[in-house]
Structure 1
Amino acid sequence: MYVRKIGKSFLVYFIGILILALGISLMIQSQLGASPYDALLVGLYRTFGLTIGSWEIIVGSAVVLLNAVASKSRPELLALLTSLVTGIGIDTWLWLLGEWLIPDHLLERALLVILGILFTGIGIAIYLESSFAPNPMDRSMVILTDKTGWSFSRSRAIISIVFVVIAFFFNGDIGIGTLLNALITGFIIQWIRPYVLVILYKHPVPKANASQ
């Protein structure tokens, strides 16, 4: 029974990360700006080479170590798994989409941004429900909130600004998509989460959400 529960948790986690990686890839393909974190990954790729997914693994691992230092605890090895799976997923999606999904017009790029933000929100909503492995960035926000007493949203905003500033110096993928991602993704996660619970655990959709 325990093994089946862990297996289902990992499957939900993997599907969520896969969808999240698709959303990230669509944002990158749009050329209108990626999320603050992913904008830095693209900037590092443009500056130093390697692949965007490789930088996801490298930067994610560095964040895990910084989190351990800040919280004075051991590094969370499962958080490294999140960076690894996400990095491989990004490179795989970019390889699959890169040859034919090249937008030529602004309308096409805008559509990719919308789809990218939507899939990003859906992916995060799914993998969060698995409770299988933490995300290094989410852990950073929790640690910053604990250390400063700020709200989670304020900590998230501060960290996002820091990544955008660093991405700027590395010719990162900053644009209107970056701003939209920061503003909208949280609402998508909140909106989609009840329906994820219905699909995964047969929980009823709250009336407040069902009526929206």
Structure 2
Amino acid sequence: MLRHDRFPARLTQLLAGLCLYGISMAMMVRANLGLDPWDVLHQGLAHRLGLSFGWTVNLVGLVVLALWLPLRQRPGLGTVLNIMVIGTVTDLALAVIPAPEGYIPRFALLGFGIVLNGIAGGAYIGAGLGPGPRDGLMTGFCRRTGLPVKAVRTAIELAVLAIGWLLGGTVGLGTVLYAVSIGWVVHYALPAFAFDKARPQPQPASA
């Protein structure tokens, strides 16, 4: 059971993490050096469906949620807000973040985007109000297989990358950097933001 006196702090951390996650996605899009694996999928689907990038993110979240059933994952408030907030914030951020010129500014934007993405993910998962649909797959597989977060997250990212590329999503150097680094960032960000410090994080048994 959640302590009621900590719920406001958990909710604040959740919403901040979700908003920062959306901003980080927009940063990587504007860097134009290759999208992260999930966004390669989102971009490919957006072009095919005629939807905005953010709306496609939200739609994919709904579809991925259905994949929780065999893993016996239970959605929470964080799951619902994830589907509603991230894509919406991404569209808003894309409207205000300019595309930088020159490789140095673009690489800097990409690097900050990747790090912010991992930290934001650790923040909203660590709030303990329910992971997002995509991260529910990660934590569910961790619990079922006993594998560490960094291994499972990287495997999922690489699988999604392949599907997104087949759909026509943009793959580049940024895609590779994200795929090989995001698992490590999330692996170390989760313990820093976990409210339930007594439970080992991010070990699969406590996911």
Smaller-chain TM-score bracket: 0.7 to 0.9
Change in 2 beyond 3 A, CA 1:103/1:60:
same
Aligned-partner Cα distance in 2 for 1:171–1:52: 14
Q: Residue in 2 aligned with 1:204?
A: none
Q: SS of the residue aligned with 1:104?
A: coil
CA offsets 1:40-59 (integer angstroms, 9 cap, x no match): 11121222221111111111
CA offsets 1:24-43 (integer angstroms, 9 cap, x no match): 11001111112111111112
Q: SS of the residue aligned with 1:54?
A: helix
Say whether the 8 Å CA contact 2:22–2:89 is kept in structure 1.
Answer: yes
Q: SS of the residue aligned with 1:157?
A: helix
- Pair 1:57-2:53 in alignment: no
- Return the index of the structure with the highest Cα Rg: 1
Aligned-partner Cα distance in 2 for 1:187–1:72: 26
- Pair 1:122-2:119 in alignment: yes
Q: Residue in 1 aligned with 2:82?
A: 82
Q: Which amino acid aligns with 1:111?
A: A
Q: Residue in 1 aligned with 2:45?
A: 44
Tell me how far 1:93 sits from its aligned partner. 0.8
TM-score calculated relative to the size of structure 1: 0.79
Q: SS of the residue aligned with 1:153?
A: helix
Q: Residue in 2 aligned with 1:94?
A: 94
Q: Percent identity?
A: 24
Superposition pairs of residues 8-27 of structure 1, within 5 angstroms: 8-27=9-28
2:135 corresponds, among 134, 138, 145, to 138
Q: SS of the residue aligned with 1:132?
A: coil
Tell me how far 1:149 sits from its aligned partner. 5.4
Q: SS of the residue aligned with 1:103?
A: coil
Q: Which amino acid aligns with 2:136?
A: R
Aligned-partner Cα distance in 1 for 2:86–2:118: 14
Aligned-partner Cα distance in 2 for 1:65–1:190: 25
TM-score calculated relative to the size of structure 2: 0.81
Q: Residue in 2 aligned with 1:104?
A: 101
Superposition pairs of residues 192-211 of structure 1, within 5 angstroms: none
Aligned-partner Cα distance in 1 for 2:118–2:161: 20
Q: Residue in 2 aligned with 1:210?
A: none
* RMSD of aligned alpha carbons: 2.7
